[in-house]
Every structure is written in C-alpha cells, then in structure tokens.
Amino acid sequence: MTVEAPVVDIAAVQTRTIRTLVVSQAVGAVGVTIGVATASLLARDISGSESMAGLAQTFQVLGTAAAAVLLARLMRRRGRRIGLVTGYLLGAAGALLAVVAGVVDSMLVLLAGAVLLGATTAANSGSRYAATDLAPEQTRARALSVVVWATTIGAVAGPNLTGVGASLARSVGIPELTGGFAIGSVALAAAAGWIGVRLRPDPLLVAQAAAPVATSDTATRSWSRFTATVRDVPAVGAAVVAMACAHAAMVTVMIMTPLHMEHGGAALQIIGLVISLHVLGMFAFSPLVGLAADRWGRPPVLMAGGVTLLVSLALCGSAPEGSSWQIFAGLFLLGLGWSFATVAASTIIADRTPLAARTDVQGTSDMAMSLTAAGGGALAGVIVQVFGYPVLAAFAAVLGAGVIAAGAATRSDRRD
C-alpha cells in the first residue's frame, strides 16, 4: 500500500517563516551592530595605529565572505534552519573573543573574533533569502524586505547600547569598549535558539519537496552553479555587481565615520546616534522599498539606490570633523541607498535563479559582496590617514556610480 506524503500548506508555512525570521533578525541584529560604533576604536586602541582601525571590520567582512559560501552549502544539504543556527552560534563565539581581545590586549584575538562575527552577517543575509523560498514572485520583494526591516529593531538599539555596554564593562572589570560585544554574544545565542526551535518546517526543504522536478545536483560544484546561472541569466550577474558595489561603498565610509567624528571631539553617545540613524536608513524603510520593487520593477529601484548613494557621499565628503548636519544626513542617506540597492538586487537574484542553484548563487553573491567591501575597508584607514575623509567619500562615489551602471544592465531582462 502506498502512503501519500502529507499535504503542506505553503501559505501557512510562509507566514510562520516570516514571523520567525522577523524575531531572529531583530534579536540577532543587536549582536551584529552593537560593536559597530566601537569596533574601529577598539582596534585602534589595541594596535596603537589609526591606519589599522578598519582592520576589525575588514576581517569581519572577510569572515562574512567565507561563511556565506560555507553556510550556503550547509543550507543546500540540510536546509535554512541548520545553516542559520550555525551562523548565529559562530557569531556569538566571535563576540566573546572580541571581549577576550580587549582584556588581553591582543589584535590577533580581536581579528579572529571579527572573522567569526562575520558568520552572523552571513546568517542574516541567508535569512532574507529564506523569506523568498516560498513567496510568490509578485510579492517576493515585499517578503524579503519585511525580514530586512526587522533588523531595524535590533540594529538601531544596538549602537545605542554602547553606553550600557560601557557601564557593564566597568562593573565587571573589562575594557569599556568590549561591553557591547559581551551583550551581543548573548543576543546572538538567543537568536540561534529561536531559529532552532521555530523554523519548522524548513522553507527551503518545503520548496524543494514541492518542486515539480528533482533539485539535487551533487555532481556540480557551487562555483559552477553560480557561473552557469550568470552565463544563462545576465541580469543575475549585474545584480551581484550592483549589490557588491553598494555594500562596499556603505561599509567603506561607515567604518571610518566614528574616527572622523572623534577627531572633532564628538562624544561616544553622539557617534552611536549617527550610526543608529545610518542603520535606520538601511532597514527601517525596506518594506516601502520592497513595495516599490514589486510595483515598478527591480531595476528602477536599484538605480535609485545608486543615485541616493552618490548624494550621501557628497554630503559625507563635505562634513567637517566632529558632529554636523552633513554627517547625520549623509550617513542616513548612505544607509537608505544601500537599502534600495540591496532589496532590489537580492530580489532579482531570487527571481531569476533556478531552485537547484539557489543557495549556491545566493551564497556566492554574498561572498562577492563581502570581499568587495573587505577590499574597500582595508583601504579605508590608509586613505583617511594619508588623504583624509573627503577623499574616502570620493573613492566610495565611484562604487555608487557602479550601482547605477549595473542597475541599467538588469533592464535587459524583461521579467525584471
């Protein structure tokens, strides 16, 4: 006697998936962003050199690049749940290492922790794609953008907890700049537990089971899947380029802004406020961005992101040291331009990638995005030290122009 497989309510699974991801993104974002405002300062203090201040963020981005591919492979074999839990737990371990680095005054330990923290960013990226596994194409951008929006809750709170983290650090006798990382480790562990319990059934496994044809292809390597997809669907390649340029422009300027402000005497609380406003721009308006991408198409929204980035970088380049309206407005628009570009480009990738290659293409594209940002981050400290912050903004503007060009290239695909 043949036993029929149980019928899965796709809509119900999608609703549960979105709700689960919203919570994990909100909690996990605290762990990702709480150290953003202090990471460059901690690296500067430990190394004794401002030219090395960007290394912590650079190594975190490199960790994101490596984890993006590794977690993608894990997700392809085991589903989104196992991959996301692994990413959050690695991030929690990295945050703890950052605390240890401050205590023992070791740059090597700090960079090792930063690499592990990168796995959390990779997990967050995987979460936005998990939201699209079961979403219909006409609402896919909105599904993705809702999960991106959820990051706002923790991401805005995170940098503003720098004062709380400093107080905690003083109370337990650890360096003041490591308190945020201690709080972040707890948040990341909580996010891992939530995903482990709640992301059932797994949306990717359900999508694979519901596919009309088999989706496994173990004989093909991840890179081959990626290159084959880009060759067959040029819009995917253009979207990857756009997302990489937008992320690199954002990271390059954002990581050096705390130092630019500190040089002018800005207090740590003001620096945290600027970073919070930046993060607000990155995530808070993403549902509107997703709605626009679903209604008017992905390429126009992608190019609008490039234009917004150029405006933001012009403001940042004109901002004096310390606190100014230009730095507040510039960092906010820098985040907003990133949001436009990332939501639109990610949706193009989700739209046009075959299910069999989905995690491989998504993971490789996130790796490319992270490596580009790592290159910019590595140059950021040197550029600021030798030429100044305005030149750094001009350098990032070249990447912003790349977003516009890549967005125009995606117009060749009529489905977008």
pLDDT above 70 for 5: no
Q: What is d(CA 107, CA 5) in angstroms, rounded to the nearest whole number?
A: 54
| pTM confidence score | 0.81
Q: What is d(CA 225, CA 231) in angstroms, rounded to the nearest whole number?
A: 10
Q: What is d(CA 237, CA 222) in angstroms, rounded to the nearest whole number?
A: 15
pLDDT, tens digit, 9 for 90 and up, residues 66-77: 999 899 889 988
Least confident of 3-17, 81-95, 391-405: 3-17
Q: What is d(CA 34, CA 12) in angstroms, rounded to the nearest whole number?
A: 34
Q: What is d(CA 416, CA 414) in angstroms, rounded to the nearest whole number?
A: 5
Judged by DSSP in three states, 246 sits in helix
- Tokens representing 353 are 């990638």
**Cβ pair 340, 46 in contact under 8 A:** no
Least confident of 28-32, 130-134, 341-345: 28-32
Residue 267 vs residue 94, higher pLDDT: 94
pLDDT, tens digit, 9 for 90 and up, residues 106-124: 989 999 998 999 899 899 8
**Cβ pair 377, 156 in contact under 8 A:** no
Q: What is d(CA 380, CA 250) in angstroms, rounded to the nearest whole number?
A: 11
The pLDDT, as a whole number, for residue 6 is 56
Residue 338 vs residue 377, higher pLDDT: 338
pLDDT above 80 for 80: yes
Judged by DSSP in three states, 320 sits in coil
The pLDDT, as a whole number, for residue 49 is 75
Q: What is d(CA 272, CA 268) in angstroms, rounded to the nearest whole number?
A: 6
**71: closest CA among 227, 192, 235, 193?**
192
The pLDDT, as a whole number, for residue 51 is 67
Q: What is d(CA 371, CA 405) in angstroms, rounded to the nearest whole number?
A: 20
Q: CA 134: distance to chain centroid? A: 22
Residue 1 vs residue 212, higher pLDDT: 212
Mean pLDDT, rounded, for 213-222? 54
pLDDT above 90 for 60: no
101-to-50, 94, 171, 172, 267 alpha-carbon distances in Å: 17, 10, 18, 15, 24
Q: What is d(CA 202, CA 373) in angstroms, rounded to the nearest whole number?
A: 31
**192: closest CA among 98, 114, 93, 284?**
93
- Tokens representing 354 are 């075959």
- Tokens representing 20 are 């689960």
pLDDT, tens digit, 9 for 90 and up, residues 359-410: 889 988 889 888 888 788 778 888 888 888 999 999 999 999 999 999 999 8
**Cβ pair 69, 222 in contact under 8 A:** yes
Angle between helices 179-198 and 140-160 (to 10 degrees): 150
Give me the DSSP letters along 50-97.
Answer: GGGTTHHHHHHHHHHHHHHHHHHHHHHHH-HHHHHHHHHHHHHHHHHH
The amino acid present at 394, given as its one-letter code, is A
Q: What is d(CA 338, CA 280) in angstroms, rounded to the nearest whole number?
A: 11
